[in-house]
Structure 1
Amino acid sequence: MKRLVSILFLNLLSPGPLCSAQPIKEATAAPVVIKKTAKAITPATYTGKQVVVGNGGGFTGASTSYYLLENGQLFGRRSHDTTFTFLAKQTTTNTKRIFSKVENSCKIKKTRFDHPGNVYTFVQWRKGKTSYKVTWGATGKKAPSNYPKFYNSFMAMIPASLRLK
């Protein structure tokens, strides 16, 4: 019996039909390709035109802003948030209409009005580092008539379910 076990053991160790030792193949030296992933577009990184509307103030001083990018992406952000919240993608027609209204009807690049009150509302146009902003809310200071209308129409395009709370 010992002899049988020895023979089996030797057969297992020796190269042959039971155990054929094959050389390990060398790995091919294919270059490793690392692809850069596209950065997410946010209002902080976007260099095109943006329209920003929002409000804030009061007891807490908190504010809520909505950002419409020229590419149609709509984001929201509260003053205590660290990131932007993607809300929706607007149609090209609607996006162009909004930019046309703020640039041509409201003439935001020529309007100078900065009268925030305890509670305030604002409309802002940005492109890169260039920015124009109209803020209203102070008692006794009436905002230019096109701005409250623009603010209300902008907010009407955001369904209540998507608004930041």
Structure 2
Amino acid sequence: MRLIFLFSLFSIMLLSCKSQQYTLDTLPGKQLIFGRGGGISGEVTTYTLLENGQVFYNNSLTKENSEIKSLSKKEATSCFQKMDSLKLSEMSFNHPGNMYYFLEEVKGEERYRVTWGSNDHEISSECKDFYKELRTAIK
């Protein structure tokens, strides 16, 4: 009897540790969004990373919306920490080119976005490097 109780208690604790899973219709208030767009087609590719590691993909031309490979919780936490260190809320950078790239931080109702691609305006190397890290992580 005691063994069954301990096993049940352990099972409940294990199941409660599993992180919340979201859908495109039930996204949480904190998100890290990044992507690219433009060119001849005007296609915009967007990735949405959540704190639990889930990654959602959207393509504006094909209208494809799907969940893709998830990151580990540790990787996702690291990405959100790096995003915080960029302090997008203190930046004002909107200089898209024919092809453009973006990083966006969502915190509830607040959204902070930087867009770059113009040859006339250079974004910080930290933003570019972080964007490359994100792209590499989801491949």
Counterpart check, 1:41 vs 2:19: no
Pick one of 32, 38, 61 that aligns with 1:57: 38
Q: Which has the larger radius of gyration?
A: 1
Could you list the runs of 4 or more consecutive aligned residues of structure 1 that deviate by over 3 angstroms after TM superposition?
none
Alpha-carbon deviation of 1:139?
A: 1.6
Structure with the bigger percentage of strand: 2
Q: Note the C-alpha offset of 1:108.
A: 1.3
Q: Is the 8 A contact 1:46 1:128 kept in 2?
A: no
Structure-to-structure mapping, 1:128-139, within 5 angstroms: 128-139=108-119
Q: Any unmatched runs of 5+ in structure 2?
A: 1-20
Q: TM-score, normalised by structure 1?
A: 0.67
Count of matched residue positions in the alignment of Structure 1 and Structure 2: 119
The one-letter code of the counterpart of 2:27 is Y
Corresponding position: 1:103 with 2:71: no
Shift, 1:81, TM fit? 4.1
Distance 2:109 2:52 in 1: 18
> CA separation in 1, counterparts of 2:62 and 2:108?
22
| Structure 1 pair 143–154 and aligned structure 2 pair: CA distance change class (3 A) | same
In structure 1, runs of 5+ residues without a counterpart are 1-38, 160-165
- Does the 8 Å contact 2:34/2:131 carry over to 1? yes
Identify if the C-alpha distance between structure 1 residues 46 and 143 changes in structure 2 by more than 3 Å, giving closer, same or farther. same
Using CA pairs under 8 Å that are at least 6 residues apart, name the structure with larger relative contact order, 1 or 2. 2
Matches of 2:26 and 2:32, distance apart in 1: 14
TM score, norm. by length of structure 2: 0.79
